[in-house]
Each structure stands twice: as structure tokens, then as C-alpha cells.
A and B are shown apart, each in its own frame.
Chain A
Amino acid sequence: MLNMFEVIETNHMIEQEKLDVRTITMGISLLDCCDNDLARLNEKIYNKITSYARDLVATGEAISRDFGIPIVNKRISVTPIALVGGCACKTPEDFVTVAQTLDRAAKTVGVNFIGGYSALVCKGMTPAEEHLIRSIPKALAVTERVCSSINVGSTKTGLNMDAVRLMGEIVVKTAEETKENDSLGCAKLVVFCNAPDDNPFMAGAFHGVTEADAIINVGVSGPGVVKVALEKARGENFEVLCETIKRTAFKITRVGQLVAQEASVRLGIPFGIIDLSLAPTPAVGDSVAEILEEIGLERVGAPGTTAALAMLNDQVKKGGVMASSYVGGLSGAFIPVSEDRGMIEAVAMGALTLEKLEAMTCVCSVGLDMIAIPGDTPATTIAGIIADEAAIGMINQKTTAVRIIPVIGKTIGDTVEFGGLLGYAPVMPVNPYSCEKFVTRGGRIPAPIHSFKN
């Protein structure tokens, strides 16, 4: 039978250490909504989302009440809209109407984000996919809850450099379209390499074509719990350190597994995966950077940061895998700058640079995330940053992504407020030298060789 210490430990994690389930994300396939007629397409999409996800929010809240665990977000991911809207959408403006439909459906069912305004163009772009990409700045400006993601490369196909170059321009245009709100549109736009089909986390969630009609994916979180556990292992060797992280990750993930199974039964929708990511928030004591500092770095960004992060990420997975029947999504420590108080402080004091962040993304999910850069950064430079990050993913067979915000009207030293879970960020300097001739060459970077790994 349970003893009191176990009960107190669990409740302490929830109340003091900010243990929560970050998101229950319902993936919904929209492939059966395809239609030649734009109005009918929009109607079918709206009807399917609002009928499948009708009880999502209420169910999430009921589970939260029953177990006494906060479930922070209830969200929806859908089939990449470039595939669904291909028949009906002949212009970027047509795609914007679909974005508005997604936004309306999200508001009707009460979810705070809906992901899947996406195109998978890792090898080439169809006309529909290009229309969707070109519609992103407008779509993200006129909607509130829609998130967009574009997959521009993979280990199997190489990098679509035409798409990379285009995305550099789209990021800048999205920033301009939403400049009244500190270019917030870019916080809802992710450029991926090796994007997973079952990621529950925004802004990069979409419901891949390999998935079932509907599925429940859950993202857990608990940087605060790991940090507090490590406080008790100060001065211990790596063996003790790793064991502590694994045990803690196991406990955190079990809660996610329980919530996922319960949601699956109550909603009558199959359970997909648990995403084992340590996802920080701007709240005090909910920071991945603070874990790294607890491990022994004076500040995140110091030499040793990449090694510490690699170890942390691997131990979280080792502990979490055993706690869940199915693991997927991104599964790793997130290092979004604006959403992590420790990262923000490290950037502000000059300990953490864009280049070090790039190195860190080699060993953890997911990539250059929620980074504010000067608004006058050229589109080709942003394309270069995307290409660098995508190359890391392509060569290392991992997911990488770029969610970068060129804040129009702001420059190095300024601070940007995104609000809520998106947090705030100091504007970071970018290497001023040009890569224009490189990114404008056109074509593809071929798929890498899968042997001679060095």
C-alpha cells in the first residue's frame, strides 16, 4: 500500500516544483476533408475538428481535477494543410481562408493553439506547397491560434535549399506583418529538418500522414522536479547524477502516461505517444538552464554546457522510455531562450551566444528556439541560420528546427515581450558577415552518406 512519504513527494513535485502535463494534443487527420471547392473544404475542416475535439478541453480539465495534476494546454494538430488544401487552394489567399477556419475551429473548441498549417518540402515543392508557404505571413497575422511549420530537409533526402532560401524571406515577412506585436507571428512559425509526425508540442505540431484518423499525444514537463532532485546530489559523481536524473524522469513520465491513457479512454481516441521533453516556462524554478547550472556550470553557455546538456538529454530519455509504452515526438530537453529564465539571464549577461546555442542543438532537441534577433537581419542571413541548423539535423539523423524572431524596429540590447508561456527575450547579435551567395545558389544539398561516420 502507498505510504505517506510517496504521497507527499508527488504532491510536493506538483505544488512546489511545478510538475505538470504540458499538453494533451489531439492529432486529427484532415485527409478526408479534401475537396475541389474552397468553401466546402473549409466547412468540412471546421466540422471535423469541432466534432472530434468537442470534449477535449472539458476532458483535460476533468482529468486534471481527478488526479490533482495541472494540464497546462489542450491543443490540436492537423494534417499538413498544403496536402489537404492542394485541390481547392489556387493562390496564397485561398490558403489564408483555411488558416482562418482553423483559428475559428480552435476558438470554438477552446484550445489555445492549433498546429498543422504546414508543408513538407524536404525534397521539392508542389505549387500548392509554395502557395501555402507564401501565405504564411498573412495567415499568421490574421489568425491568433494557428501555428505553422515547414520541413525543409531530412537525412534521407538532403536539404531543399530553395525552400530554405524562401523560408528566410518568409520569416522576415512574417515579422513585418506582425511588427505591431513585436513580430509575434514568428513565434508561431518553425522551420524543421527531420520533422516528426507525432510531435505534441507547439509551434511545430502537425498530424503526419503516417498517423491514424485521430490520436492523443501527450507532452510532459518537469525541469523544476529534475532541478530539485539534483540539489540533493550536489558534489556526487556522474554515476549518482545520472541515476538521479533517470529516476526523476521515470516518475515524471509515468504521470504523463497515466494522463494520456486516461484521456484516450475518456475521449475514445487511441493513445499515440508520450513526448519525453523537458519543456521550460518563464516561471521561476521551471528552467532547463537552471538544471545545467545545478549540474555544475556557473552559467549556461560556459565551456562544458554541451556535454552537460548531452548527458541530461540522454538520461531523461533513458528514464522516460521505461515509464511509457510508446515514446515519440521530439523527446529531449528544450532550450527556448525566451521561455527559460536561466537562458534569458545568460544571454543578457553575455554568457550564452547564438553560436553556443547552435552547438547545444547538436545534442538535444530541438533547435534554435524562440531567439530574438535584430529586425534588420537580412533574409539571406536567416536562411543561412536555417541551413546550418538543418544540416546538423540531416547529418546527425535528428530533428532540428529554427524558430527565430527578427524583431522589427528593435536591435541588440533591446528586450522583447511575447507574453504568457512565450516569455520575453533580449535581442541577440547575429554574425554580420553575409552568406547571400551561398543560399541563393538554388537547388538541393544532396542526402548525406550513411557510412564513414565521423
Chain B
Amino acid sequence: MNKVIITVLGKDTVGIIAKVCTYLAEKQVNILDITQTIVQGYFNMMMIVDMDQANVPFEQISGDLEKIGEGIGVRIKCQREEIFTKMHRI
């Protein structure tokens, strides 16, 4: 497993999840979990994905998603899971 956390933050619009998921499917990235909320019109999403079978490197996926985010006016960030598990789990 090569778990990565993808977070999306920004103004809610139609098709955010669709765009991100379509891209991930193209790159053979498996989605393990999705959580999302909308607080005061702001869209907050967290995805846990597995990049083990991905057909391009992490840096490219991270860069591409950032650009996709810019295109729809949200901020998309990819981070390897360990930074969160290390901080929040003993």
C-alpha cells in the first residue's frame, strides 16, 4: 500500500469530485475512502487513496491535481499519509 491523502478545499461547485476521480482512475489510483463536508459554502474533501498501482510518479499526480484544482477554483493537495498518522497516532 502506498497511501496518499488528497485534500480539496475551496468554494463548492458542480463536478469537483467527478473531475478528481476521473483523473485518478486514468492514472490507476485506487480510492479507499472519501469524506466531505460543506461548511458555510466551502467545500472540504479528504480522500484516502492507494498509489501502489499508479502508472505515473507521485510528483506528477500531485502537480496535475494542483492544476486541475486551479482550473475549478479549489486548492488540491497531495500528501503521503505518514505525516498525519505520525502526528495523530502513537
Query: With A4-B37, A4-B44, A258-B82 as given contacts, are A10 and B77 in contact (CB-CB < 8 Å)?
Result: no
Interface residues of A in 309-367 (CB under 8 A from B): none
Bound form: Cα–Cα A10–B85 in Å = 10
Q: Is A296 at the interface (CB under 8 A from chain B)?
A: no
* Segment of A22-30, A64-72, A202-210 in the binding face: A64-72
Q: How far is the CA of A67 from the CA of B88 in the complex (A)?
A: 15
Residues of B within 8 A of A62 (CB): 59
How far is it, in angstroms, between the C-alpha of A241 and the C-alpha of B81 when the chains are bound?
A: 30
Q: Is the CB of A68 within 8 A of B77?
A: yes
A8 at the interface (CB under 8 A from B): yes
State whether the Cβ of B62 lies closer than 8 Å to any Cβ in chain A: yes
- Please name all residues of chain B whose beta carbon is closer than 8 Å to the beta carbon of A10 when the two chains form the complex: 83-84, 87-88
- B residues 19-53 with Cβ under 8 Å of A? 33, 35, 37, 44, 46, 48
Interface centre among A2, A68, A257, A258 (most CB of B within 10 A): A2
Contact of A251 with B77 in the complex, beta carbons under 8 Å: no
Chain A residues contacting B81 (CB-CB under 8 Å) are 2
Q: Given A1-B33, A2-B48, A4-B46, does the pair A255, B87 have CB atoms closer than 8 Å?
A: yes
Instruction: Name the one of B44, B46, B48, B80 contacting A67, with C-beta atoms under 8 angstroms.
Output: B80
Is there an interface contact between B35 and A65, defined as CB atoms closer than 8 Å? Answer: no
Q: Which residue of B is nearest A6, CB measured? A: B88
Q: A-facing mask of B53-90, CB < 8 A → 1, else 0?
A: 00000110010000000000000011111111111100
Give every chain B residue within 8 A of A254 (Cβ-Cβ): 86-87
Given contacts A6-B88, A7-B46, A11-B7, contact A68 B82 (CB under 8 A): no
Inter-chain contact B35/A3, CB cutoff 8 Å: yes
Majority SS at the chain A contact face:
helix
Would B79 and A67 count as touching, CB distance under 8 A?
Answer: yes
Which of B37, B48, B58 makes the CB contact (< 8 A) with A66? B58
Interface residues of A in 51-85 (CB under 8 A from B): 62, 65-69
CB pair B5–A2 under 8 Å, yes or no, is yes
**Could you mark each residue 292-305 of chain A with 1 if its beta carbon is under 8 Å from any beta carbon of chain B, else 0?**
00000000000000
Compute how far the CA of A257 lies from the CA of B44 in the bound complex, rounded to whole angstroms: 28
Bound form: Cα–Cα A258–B84 in Å: 10
Residues in chain B near residue A255, CB distance under 8 A = 83, 86-87
Is B7 within 8 A of A67, CB to CB?
no
Contact B83 A251 (CB under 8 A): no
Interface string of A253-272 (1 = CB under 8 A from B): 01101100000000000000
**13 extra interface residue pairs, beta carbon distance < 8 Å, beyond A2-B84, A62-B59, A251-B88:** A1-B33, A2-B85, A2-B88, A4-B44, A6-B84, A7-B7, A7-B46, A8-B44, A65-B59, A66-B79, A67-B82, A68-B79, A258-B82
- A residues within 8 Å of B by Cβ? 1-4, 6-11, 62, 65-69, 251, 254-255, 257-258
Which B residues are closer than 8 A to A by beta carbons? 5, 7, 33, 35, 37, 44, 46, 48, 58-59, 62, 77-88
- For the complex of A and B, the 8 pairs showing the least CB-CB separation, nearest first, are A68-B79, A67-B83, A6-B88, A254-B86, A258-B86, A4-B46, A4-B35, A251-B87
